[in-house]
Chains A and B, each alone.
Chain A
Amino acid sequence: MRPGLLLIGLCVPLALVLGSILLIPASLGHLFGISFKSWCLFACAPATSLLLAACAHRLRGGEARR
């Protein structure tokens, strides 16, 4: 597997999730009763989708070239 794609598609999403859980304090405030920490975690989902879309685009390009 290409290390660059694994980094973008697997390691970066994992780092985002773990960063949201471990680094953001729980006391930053709330919106609709939900902590800012949780909102940051939820924001990881569209970010992961974008990163995977970039990987899929690269893979399709690579397959087309082959």
Chain B
Amino acid sequence: MIASFAIVILLSLALALASKRGQAGHDARAFFVASGQLGGLLVFFLSVGETYSVASMLGFPGGVYAHGDGFSAWFFGYILMIAPVIFFLGPWIARAGNLYGCATISDFFARHFESRALELVVTAAAIIVLVPVGTMQFLGLKIVLMTLAPDASPLLLITGAGILAFFYVAIAGLRASAFIAVLKDLLMIGSIMLVSGVALAGWQHGLTAQPSAPVAPMALHDMRFAVTTILVQSAGYAMLPQTWSFLFSARSADAIRRSQVAAPLYMIMFPLLMCVATYALFHGLHPAVPDQVFLTTASALLPRWLLGIVLAGVTLAGLVLLSTVCLAIGSLATRNLVRGLGETGQTRGAKIVTALYLLLSIASAESSGHLMATMNNIIYFGIVQTLPGLVAALRFRRTPAIAVIAGIVAGDIVALAIFASGIDVGGINPGLIGLLPNVAMLIALTALRPRQGARTVLDKLGDGAVAG
């Protein structure tokens, strides 16, 4: 099992080294966003590499195992709606990135609105959003690696995973992540098809049997939660810093669109993962914690050497997302938080930030991780507050930077206050409620202090009314 795992990991390192060949330039933009030279296939793999991490592979079947298939509604719904949102919005973000020579979301806001204050506000929001992602990945990796080597020290195992993620970043930046994402996705979907296929072949109950717990109809509160969370999280995904990185890395708008046409087909993994969870429920498999249900089922059904390959696939799922998040946080820190670094300084600084971020995430995963788990909940309703600013940049030439800043701050305060106080808002996602004061501030301050002589992104791109 360990040998087959090691072979796959060595193969991933070889891919990272191979990705250096064909690299267009050695400047910071080449390191952070592959100089916008990735074709449709690599953009697709990078896109799904960022969407489906170790959390999807372990957390989704774990949620179904613990809470039944009602859990899937909002989760599946929001991930599916990401594709149409990116299909239409992504090409505009990519074109705006080319227009201003951006490598980060903050670059765009700073250069379009010509405001250092707005750059800092967006950078702070983006970094806060990225901090818990690393902890979540290491918590998942700990479960995977403990299955591989139950007697080893968990700290040692996740430190090894952290070193590997650092190497991926240091070798070739985002280009390495894109190449490894191809291997990761082939292994990930292959592993899921294999485990679910063996489970379905060995299914010993009636095909139409239902779980022992009665299926309760969805309450109005839950419906409101599902609908508003799908809206907020699919829109919020478009504003995640690592999403902007992959959009900036695309060679053309058509490459982004083609990747999003194919992305929903990749979601075949969800019914298959659900089959694995229900197989465990029906066939008396008892994982120590619900998130282990996929690995417990794989351990029960597969030979050891094949299990090693499955574990390597899940590990790479965590490491690819970790590497793209490291690059996103590194670029934000060295381009937007600290200014005036040269091209070499930015890439060197990003490697230092990557190392610090990985250490912080490992330490957090080794402690309880509860704080990070809570922070993980606020990712989407925090970052979605930057969306009105993007819409304003695309369409409204009179919106000043101060209106965008006030909108983001007001939206985040309202959303966080609702979340932290636990006020019952009838199941409505706090991010959606936060968007109301956000947009109100944006409109009011645009009316009070309109920007003079500015042009929208669409004006600058010379096409104010075509489809994305």
Residues of A5-39 contacting chain B, CB below 8 A = 5-6, 9-10, 13-14, 17-18, 21-22, 25-27, 29-35, 37-39
| B81 contacts A14, C-beta separation under 8 Å | yes
A25 CB contacts on chain B under 8 angstroms: 217
Q: Given A41-B72, A45-B268, A46-B264, verify A62-B467 contact (CB < 8 Å).
A: yes
Chain B: minimal CB distance from A56 (Å): 5
Question: How many B residues touch the partner, as a band?
Answer: 35 or more
Q: Tell me if A52 and B260 are in contact (CB < 8 A).
A: yes
A55 to B258, CA, bound (A): 10
Q: A6, A33, A48: which contacts B209 (Cβ < 8 A)? A: A33
Residues of chain B with a CB closer than 8 A to A9's CB: 84, 87-88
B257 at the interface (CB under 8 A from A): yes
Q: Is the CB of B70 within 8 A of A26?
A: yes
Chain A: minimal CB distance from B73 (Å): 5
CB pair B265 A46 closer than 8 Å: yes
Q: Are A32 and B260 in contact (CB under 8 A)?
A: no
In chain B, positions 192-242 with a C-beta closer than 8 Å to chain A are 200, 203, 205, 207-211, 215-218, 223, 226-227, 230
Which of A6, A17, A29 has a CB less than 8 Å from the CB of B230? Answer: A17
For B275, give its contact among A6, A34, A41 (CB under 8 Å): A34
Q: Contact at A21–B264, with CB atoms within 8 Å?
A: no
Number of A-B contacts (CB under 8 A): 136
Q: Is the CB of B73 within 8 A of A13?
A: no
B466 CB → nearest A CB, Å: 8
B203→A48 contact, CB < 8 A = no
Let me know if B69 is at the binding interface, CB within 8 A.
yes
Question: In the complex, which of the residues A17, A35, A62 has the most CB atoms of chain B within 10 Å of its own CB atom?
Answer: A17
Residues of B contacting A38 with CB < 8 Å?
Answer: 69, 72-73, 271, 274
Q: Flag if A21 contacts B261 (CB, 8 Å).
A: no
B396 at the interface (CB under 8 A from A): no
Chain A interface, DSSP helix/strand/loop, else mixed: helix
Give the complex CA separation of A57 and B258 in angstroms: 10
Nearest opposing residue in chain A for B260, CB measure: A52
Chain B minimum-CB-distance residue to A26: B215
Instruction: Assess whether B425 is interfacial by the CB under 8 Å rule.
Output: no
Q: A39-B271, A42-B267, A56-B257 are in contact. Are A48 and B83 (CB under 8 A)?
A: yes
Given contacts A10-B85, A26-B216, A31-B208, contact A56 B258 (CB under 8 A): yes
Q: Are B215 and A35 in contact (CB under 8 A)?
A: yes
In the complex, which of the residues B87, B257, B263, B278 contacts A34, with contact meaning CB atoms closer than 8 Å?
Answer: B278
Please tell me if the beta carbons of B271 and A53 are within 8 angstroms of each other in the complex. no
Residues in B with CB closer than 8 Å to A56 are: 87, 254, 257-258, 261
Q: How far is the CA of A5 from the CA of B89 in the complex (A)?
A: 13
Q: Find out whether the CB atom of A45 lies under 8 angstroms from the CB atom of B210.
A: no
With a cutoff of 8 Å between Cβ atoms, the chain B residues found around residue A49 in the complex are: 83, 261-265
Q: Name the residue of chain B whose CB is nearest to the CB of A56.
A: B257
CB distance from A37 to the nearest CB of B (A): 8
* B80 lies within 8 A of A1 (CB): no
Interface residues of A (CB under 8 A from B): 1-2, 5-6, 9-10, 13-14, 17-18, 21-22, 25-27, 29-35, 37-39, 41-42, 44-46, 48-49, 51-53, 55-56, 59-60, 62
5 interchain residue pairs of minimum CB distance: A33-B278, A30-B210, A2-B467, A45-B264, A45-B267
In the complex, besides A33-B69, A55-B257, 14 extra interface pairs with C-beta distance below 8 angstroms are A1-B467, A5-B88, A9-B84, A13-B84, A17-B230, A21-B73, A26-B218, A33-B210, A38-B274, A42-B76, A42-B271, A45-B80, A52-B257, A56-B257
